[in-house]
Amino acid sequence: MLLLAVGYAFATGVYAQQSRGVCGNSTEDQLMYEHRTIANVETANAGGATDRGAVQYVPVYFHLVGDANGAGKVKERLVLDQLCALNEAFSTADIRFYLSVHPTQNTIFNYSINATNVYSNQDGWFTMQTNRHPNALNVYIVDEAVSGNNNPGITQAYYSNPRDWVVSRRDQISGATNNAVLPHEIGHFFSLDHTFFGWESNPFDSSDPTWPIAPSVSPGNVPTERMSGSNCNTAADKICDTPPDYNFGLYASSCSYNGGAKDPGNVDVVPMANNMMGYFNDCSNYVFTNQQKSVMMADLNSSARNYLDNNYTPPSEEINTPTDLLVSPGSGATVPYYDEVLVEWQDLPEATWYLLEFDFVSTYATPYAQSFMVNSNSKLVTTLLPNRTYYWRVRPINEYVTCAAVRQRTLKTPGTSAVRDIEGLTAWQIAPNPVRNGGNANLFVQAEQSFDANIRVFTTTGQEVLNLPKVHFENGDNKIEVPLSKLGNGLYMVMLQTREGQAVRKLSVLK
Ligand SMILES: [Zn+2]
């Protein structure tokens, strides 16, 4: 699971080795939740957590942390892909994860943490705490995950037991096939120990004085597990279907071990290299064992996890993206204004959000990439540059289905700005927006010289539903009431139109 060779040297005891990244959870970190592990193992061994037979859905809330300028946030599409990979990693367990809207922030992702002391380390834990979702598993995605004594750059991710949240470096959030980093940390969240519990800082190898026979107690003071299974309930991770491992994975170059270590009873040790809670790299299929799954389920059903309780079932298990999802602008079309681009797509009943992305190239990964989480089927985009060809695409999602097919088109922006089309118009907006059905809205118009304009309201399909001709606007601030009481619910386009040009704003009418 430790996929990155990060190239920092670090010392463990007398050893100094090149290291790849690691999980930030030390032996001591895991001892902090040892009481939960023991209780959950007992519940699992008694069969109490295995016979429910139904999938339980766990709410998760991702915090997309930026630096002090708000830069460096992980892209939404990577988080959406990662959620799919996470559910794939848990596909043989009866646990699934879904995106949960924050009850007061009302967002599906948290974008509001822009702080160096969270982004580059997690000293700003109070900021993290005040942003946490009270009823979800909180995952903070940062630039540097800092835990314990590991040197900068070593820790890929960690579970903080005191805070009961997960922190991951953003380069570990990708949805890459078989990336075990986030599933591993969520294993800790659900009280699992490393399979090599006790050997975190001192892997057993030929430099050890008792080599090749392991001592009966590990350097972390945890009983050493034996191949016979005779002490599997009390040694190491206390889970009997995970064989002994003395942290052979940390310095292994592949998903296997044949280094010759023997357990305290002089039996050759054969670890389970592809276990999700081990440290081996480059395995093709990381798994949790059946007992690990039962322990996690026991934890989920324990009182410590009451705050995750919910009655959620997905609105649909699948989203079939129609090939004609995108409505307008037409493929390759040149839009009227570069800074007021209305893009529309079909409203799918299975979808509750849409990820809308723009970029100059179809990777959507350049510094010019822009993305928006939209909870309706249109977006008026004001941040595109003039005279460019943009790729744009839409991914429909719901809380649980986040990897449905995308649909993509290109559009061209002109050099024409919408606002500058009306001489004298500095800025304008409509409020309230959305407006309640039956109410009126006000146009707030700021002008640097007086002008007359028509106020016209259109449906999104272009049907005119209101026309106020020759409304006069004075130099300075103007407030004009627009009667909307006869309009039904929906999305409308409000147009200010003069002889020279026009400007358009979107208006929602709701119940
Ligand atoms: Zn770990």
Whether the predicted pLDDT of 4 surpasses 80:
no
Distance CA 371, CA 364 (A): 9
135 C-alpha to center of ligand 1: Å? 24
Q: Does residue 5 fall inside a structural domain?
A: no
Q: Which of 408, 365, 401, 381 is nearest to 75 (CA)?
A: 365
Q: What integer pLDDT is reported at residue 8 of this predicted model? A: 31
- pLDDT tens for residues 476-505? 778 888 888 888 888 998 988 887 777 888
Distance CA 225, CA 247 (A): 12
Whether the predicted pLDDT of 112 surpasses 80:
yes
**Are 147 and 36 in a shared domain?**
yes
- pLDDT tens for residues 155-183? 999 999 999 999 999 999 998 878 899 99
Whether the predicted pLDDT of 437 surpasses 70:
yes
448 C-alpha to center of ligand 1: Å? 61
Which CATH number do you get for residue 461?
Answer: 2.60.40.1930
Beta carbons within 10 angstroms of residue 266's beta carbon? 11
Which CATH number do you get for residue 139?
Answer: 3.40.390
Domain that holds residue 65: 23-192+290-308
Tell me the average pLDDT across 116-121.
97
Contact 182, 139 (CB under 8 A): yes
Whether the predicted pLDDT of 13 surpasses 50:
no
Q: Does residue 463 fall inside a structural domain?
A: yes
Q: Does residue 320 fall inside a structural domain?
A: no
98 C-alpha to center of ligand 1: Å? 22
192 C-alpha to center of ligand 1: Å? 9
- In this structure, what are the phi and psi dihedrals at residue 168, rounded to the nearest 5 degrees? -130, 140
Distance CA 428, CA 437 (A): 22
Cis (ω within 30 of 0) for the bond into 432?
Answer: yes
Distance CA 84, CA 511 (A): 35
Q: What distance lies between CA 471 and its chain's CA centroid?
A: 48
476 C-alpha to center of ligand 1: Å? 61
249 C-alpha to center of ligand 1: Å? 12
**Are 464 and 374 in a shared domain?**
no
Tell me the average pLDDT across 84-100.
95
Which CATH number do you get for residue 352?
Answer: 2.60.40.10
Q: Does residue 490 fall inside a structural domain?
A: yes
Tell me the average pLDDT across 299-316.
89
489 C-alpha to center of ligand 1: Å? 51
Q: What angle do CA 159, 372, 492 make, to 5 degrees?
A: 145
**Are 55 and 178 in a shared domain?**
yes
Distance CA 184, CA 138 (A): 15
In the Cβ-directed half-sphere of 186, how many Cα atoms lie within 13 Å?
Answer: 29
Q: What integer pLDDT is reported at residue 29 of this predicted model? A: 94
Q: Does residue 317 fall inside a structural domain?
A: no
In the chain, the number of structural domains is 4
- pLDDT tens for residues 207-251? 999 999 999 999 999 999 999 999 999 999 999 999 999 999 998
Tell which of 354, 384, 412 closes a domain.
Answer: 412
Distance CA 68, CA 113 (A): 9
**Are 304 and 165 in a shared domain?**
yes
Cis (ω within 30 of 0) for the bond into 396?
Answer: no
184 C-alpha to center of ligand 1: Å? 6
**Are 65 and 116 in a shared domain?**
yes
158 C-alpha to center of ligand 1: Å? 7
Q: What integer pLDDT is reported at residue 21 of this predicted model? A: 67
Q: What pTM value is reported for the model?
A: 0.82
Tell which of 389, 412, 435 closes a domain.
Answer: 412
Q: What integer pLDDT is reported at residue 7 of this predicted model? A: 31
At 206, is the pLDDT very low, low, confident or very high (cuts 50, 70, 90)? very high
Tell me the average pLDDT across 466-475.
90
196 C-alpha to center of ligand 1: Å? 10
110 C-alpha to center of ligand 1: Å? 25
Q: What letter does residue 485 receive in the DSSP assignment?
A: T
Burial class (CB in 10 A: 0-12, 13-18, 19+), 191: buried
Q: What integer pLDDT is reported at residue 432 of this predicted model? A: 80
**Are 73 and 167 in a shared domain?**
yes
Q: What integer pLDDT is reported at residue 497 of this predicted model? A: 83
**Are 173 and 208 in a shared domain?**
no
Q: What integer pLDDT is reported at residue 99 of this predicted model? A: 97
**Are 175 and 295 in a shared domain?**
yes
Q: Does residue 296 fall inside a structural domain?
A: yes
At 12, is the pLDDT very low, low, confident or very high (cuts 50, 70, 90)? very low
Residue type, 18: Q
Give the DSSP H/E element, type plus range, for residue 475: none
Residue type, 503: A
**Are 160 and 297 in a shared domain?**
yes
Q: What integer pLDDT is reported at residue 505 of this predicted model? A: 83
Number of H helices, E strands in the chain: 7, 24
66 C-alpha to center of ligand 1: Å? 25
Q: What integer pLDDT is reported at residue 80 of this predicted model? A: 98
**Are 89 and 226 in a shared domain?**
no
Q: Which of 155, 88, 101, 121 is nearest to 399 (CA)?
A: 101
Distance CA 9, CA 410 (A): 46
Q: What integer pLDDT is reported at residue 421 of this predicted model? A: 62
Provide, rounded to the nearest whole percent, the portion of the chain with pLDDT above 90: 66
Distance CA 85, CA 80 (A): 9
188 C-alpha to center of ligand 1: Å? 7
271 C-alpha to center of ligand 1: Å? 16
Rounded to the nearest 5 percent, the helix, strand and coil shares of the chain are 15, 30, 55
Q: Which residues of 479-488 are buried (b: 16+ CB within 10 A; e: fewer)?
A: ebebebeebe
262 C-alpha to center of ligand 1: Å? 24
53 C-alpha to center of ligand 1: Å? 28
At 48, is the pLDDT very low, low, confident or very high (cuts 50, 70, 90)? low
Tell me the average pLDDT across 427-442.
81
The pairing of strands 441-447 and 425-431 is antiparallel
25 C-alpha to center of ligand 1: Å? 5
248 C-alpha to center of ligand 1: Å? 14
Q: What integer pLDDT is reported at residue 410 of this predicted model? A: 98
Q: Which of 29-43, 340-354, 465-479 has the lowest mean pLDDT?
A: 465-479
2 C-alpha to center of ligand 1: Å? 10
Give the DSSP H/E element, type plus range, for residue 42: helix 34-45
**Are 47 and 149 in a shared domain?**
yes
At 49, is the pLDDT very low, low, confident or very high (cuts 50, 70, 90)? low
142 C-alpha to center of ligand 1: Å? 18
The long-range contacts involving 488-493, CB below 8 angstroms and separated by at least 24 positions, are: 488/437, 489/437, 490/459, 490/460, 491/376, 491/378, 491/459, 491/460, 492/457, 492/458, 492/459, 492/460, 492/465, 493/342, 493/457, 493/458, 493/459, 493/460
- pLDDT tens for residues 357-377? 999 999 999 999 999 999 888
86 C-alpha to center of ligand 1: Å? 16
Contact 510, 437 (CB under 8 A): yes
Q: What integer pLDDT is reported at residue 53 of this predicted model? A: 67
At 15, is the pLDDT very low, low, confident or very high (cuts 50, 70, 90)? very low
296 C-alpha to center of ligand 1: Å? 15
Tell me the average pLDDT across 296-323.
92
4 C-alpha to center of ligand 1: Å? 15
Which positions ≥6 away from 210 have C-beta within 8 Å?
none
Distance CA 379, CA 344 (A): 7
Q: What integer pLDDT is reported at residue 422 of this predicted model? A: 74
62 C-alpha to center of ligand 1: Å? 19
**Are 39 and 103 in a shared domain?**
yes
77 C-alpha to center of ligand 1: Å? 25
Q: What integer pLDDT is reported at residue 504 of this predicted model? A: 83
Distance CA 463, CA 457 (A): 8
> Mean pLDDT across the chain, nearest whole number?
89
In the Cβ-directed half-sphere of 152, how many Cα atoms lie within 13 Å?
Answer: 6
278 C-alpha to center of ligand 1: Å? 8
Distance CA 110, CA 105 (A): 8
Q: Does residue 9 fall inside a structural domain?
A: no
Q: What integer pLDDT is reported at residue 64 of this predicted model? A: 98
Ligand 1 (ion): which residues have CB within 5 A? 23, 25
Which positions ≥6 away from 307 have C-beta within 8 Å?
134, 135
Q: Does residue 363 fall inside a structural domain?
A: yes
Provide, rounded to the nearest whole percent, the portion of the chain with pLDDT above 70: 93
Tell which of 412, 427, 453 closes a domain.
Answer: 412
Torsional sign, CA 171, 175, 176, 179: positive
